[in-house]
Amino acid sequence: MAAIDDEDGAQLARPSDSRRDPEQLRLRLDAWLKHQQGPNAKVTEVTVPESNGMSSETLLVSAAWDGRDHALVVRVAPQPDSDPVFPHYDLDGQYRLIEHVRAHTDVPLPTLWWSETGSDALGAPFFVMDRVDGRVPPDVMPYNFGSWVSEATDAQRDAMMRESVRVLARIHAVPVPGSGVAAPAEGETALAAHVRRLREFYRWACADRAGSPLIERAFDWVDANLPDASETVLTWGDARIGNIIYRDFAPVAVLDWEMAAAGPRELDVAWMIFLHRFFQDLAELAGMEGLPGFLRREDVVAEYRRQTGYQPADLDFYTAYAALIHAVIMFRIQCRAIHFGQAAQPADPDEMILHRATLEAMLDGTYWGQVK
């Protein structure tokens, strides 16, 4: 997921205590790896990145077994006392989903090694995968504020857009697995189920505190404007370029599957479009040009149609729904900040939504008419 935080906010957003002693982590992982691979296996180094994620924690691990060195990534579920972003974490389900995607497509994915469902080794479940070398578009500061993406040529960014949309097209061709993604209830469309789960998440996030009138208005708008049911595919969920590792502007690893679901293709197409607009609106508010010609709605849609033969529909609805999803996530993250004393509760709960003006304009039907 994407969010903008200052340094303290980024620290706060970590799902568990990332200041745990790396040497203690190394010793515990070393003992665990020896159990997996034998007494000659060893973990030589563990690093906790400063830019750790908001939902699960990432450890960078150097290890060796069978006479070979391995650069690994360990994704660890958050501790319950860390007030996690989401109410439930199924890392083993993510692991199995990645295996499923790998078995049915050539979408670039890290090599998986193990899924540990117990908590004895690190205090929480985790899975282990290979580290992939490359570059990721940054969230903080956003990639359109001055980064390798903004410094690239138009031709390089065009190629990056085409290859990123190709990732969506390939994922959507993967059969929906029988497990690992939430299924609609009997008589419920996949989109209606998606909205229901988002509403349940929001109710959980704002339990025992004032909710957001804007979010509640947006849910009413979604209910009133829900499109007709369309084809259900496997959706990546957090389908944005910040979850892709690139090399020479081509994807070499697709990451972060915790928001995957069965649903319409437009969920992913609109999320990719909206998340760029989120960063672009921030750039323009800061008086910067940003990247107005990158990941434009019309270009993403045209490229998706070229690659799949499918014309995405109802994009005004789906981009507004993407803005609502992001609003709920940001609201939850700010609730955590308030809980840990790193932010004050605003008098207006809608101030907890950084892109409130964008969401309001989308609900009013005025947003896309003002986009350059």
Kindly indicate the confidence band of residue 322, based on its pLDDT and cuts at 50, 70 and 90.
very high
Contact in structure between 1 and 55 (CB atoms under 8 Å)? yes
Catalytic residue among 238, 256, 268, 281: 238
- Determine which of 47-61, 152-166, 337-351 has the lowest per-residue pLDDT on average: 47-61
Mean of pLDDT values over 328-356: 88
Give the pair of three-digit tokens for residue 336: 């955590």
Burial 101-130 (b: 16+ CB within 10 A, else e): bbeebebbbbeebebbeeeebbebbbbbbe
Kindly indicate the confidence band of residue 14, based on its pLDDT and cuts at 50, 70 and 90.
very low
Kindly indicate the confidence band of residue 55, based on its pLDDT and cuts at 50, 70 and 90.
low
Q: Which domains does the chain have, with CATH numbers?
A: 7-130 (3.30.200.20), 143-370 (3.90.1200.10)
C-alpha to C-alpha distance for 263 and 184, rounded to whole angstroms:
9
- Determine which of 81-85, 105-109, 291-295 has the lowest per-residue pLDDT on average: 81-85
Contact in structure between 281 and 361 (CB atoms under 8 Å)? no
Q: Which residues contact 244 (CB under 8 A, 6 or more apart)?
A: 136, 137, 164, 167, 251, 253, 254, 255
What are the tens digits of pLDDT across the range 98-129? Answer: 999 999 999 999 999 999 999 999 999 999 99
Contact in structure between 268 and 262 (CB atoms under 8 Å)? no
Tell which wins on pLDDT, 14 or 49.
Answer: 49
pTM: predicted TM-score of the whole model, two decimal places: 0.91
Q: Is the pLDDT of residue 30 over 90?
A: yes
What are the tens digits of pLDDT across the range 63-75? Answer: 999 999 999 999 9
Instruction: Count CB-CB contacts under 10 A for residue 167.
Output: 21
In the residue annotation, 316 being an active-site residue is answered as: no
